[in-house]
Amino acid sequence: MSQVAVPPVVALLGPTASGKSSLALGLAELLAGRGTPVEIVNADSMLVYRGMDIGTAKPGPDELARVPHHLVDVLDVTQNSSIALVQTMARQAIADCRARRVLPLVVGGSALYTRAVLDELEIPPTDPVVRARLEEELAEQGSPALHRRLAERDPRAADAILPGNGRRIVRALEVVELTGSFSATMPDGRFHIPGTVEIGLSLSREDLDRRIAERVDRMWHDGLVEEVRSLAGHGLRQGRTASRALGYRQVLQYLDGLIDEDRARTDTVVRTRRFARKQLMWYRRDPRIRWFGALAPQLAGQVAESLRLT
């Protein structure tokens, strides 16, 4: 096989519960069997946390042993994950793979994080004073009020952020105050590494909703409540990023007596579905993505053939 034919980076994108992790393992092993060594680079902001296993659907020890993974279990739950941090670590991992003639297979989370890793994207400045003031306003007024303010000042940015995502709304408003526009700092469709290939997984809303409900059922069955209770004893509530992860936030509310367990479970399904639809909507806007049906048979083989690595 000619190394010239190998893309410099391949990325798997798609909504939550579309099967990206499973496809990544199958594709990596298939390509390795054809002479192209592959390592997986995580671009999900929550898989970086040690101990957050069940609620993030993190690959298990056996799966992690099958193919080398980067950016998995690298932070404690008390540490903050950010776009800038994931961008830096992921790009370092990609550069390391390429230096060793290994194909980096990036597996994405949210569109914003994967765009930060894959595209030309300069992380905007930050100001602790402005951030602190906006966080106080978030606590006093709630995220919907701040989201309405963002919609007035930068409609494109507001369209990209869910009204309930207070952390992202605060960051966007901070950038608007410092630079005049958050959307101006968003990706412009140019790859950081030319020649990158993006593979997208799509499925119907009905299938996506069903898979999300099944995933949440498995999480509860596998012990998500116990996992969150254990992590709470190791500072999860103090982790500004980790404590807001889907599922973890809802279980913390249940453990704190704010909602009952059925409500925590239902809210996790509803909010995950909303997040997944937003993901798919944003990815659909990117004309560079090669789309495949997430439930198609022999999917790894189809993707491998599309990469022309044989």
CA angle 221, 230, 163 (to 5 degrees): 75
Interatomic CA distance for residues 93 and 40, integer angstroms: 9
Max CA separation in the chain (angstroms): 61
204 is in an annotated binding site: no
The token pair that represents 119 in the structure block:
């595209």
Of the candidates 77, 4, 2, 70, the residue with the CA atom closest to the CA atom of residue 38? 70
241 is in an annotated binding site: no
Q: Are strands 10-13 and 103-108 parallel, antiparallel or unpaired?
A: parallel
19 is in an annotated binding site: yes
Interatomic CA distance for residues 158 and 174, integer angstroms: 13
The token pair that represents 229 in the structure block:
């209770």
CB of 245 closer than 8 Å to CB of 16: no
114 is in an annotated binding site: no
CB of 174 closer than 8 Å to CB of 130: yes
278 is in an annotated binding site: no
Mapping DSSP onto H, E and C, the string for 257-272 reads: CCCCHHHHHHHHHHHH
CB of 309 closer than 8 Å to CB of 36: yes
Cα end-to-end distance, the chain, whole Å: 7
Q: Which residues are annotated as a binding site for ATP?
A: 14-21
Residues comprising the binding site? 14-21
Binding residues for substrate: 16-21
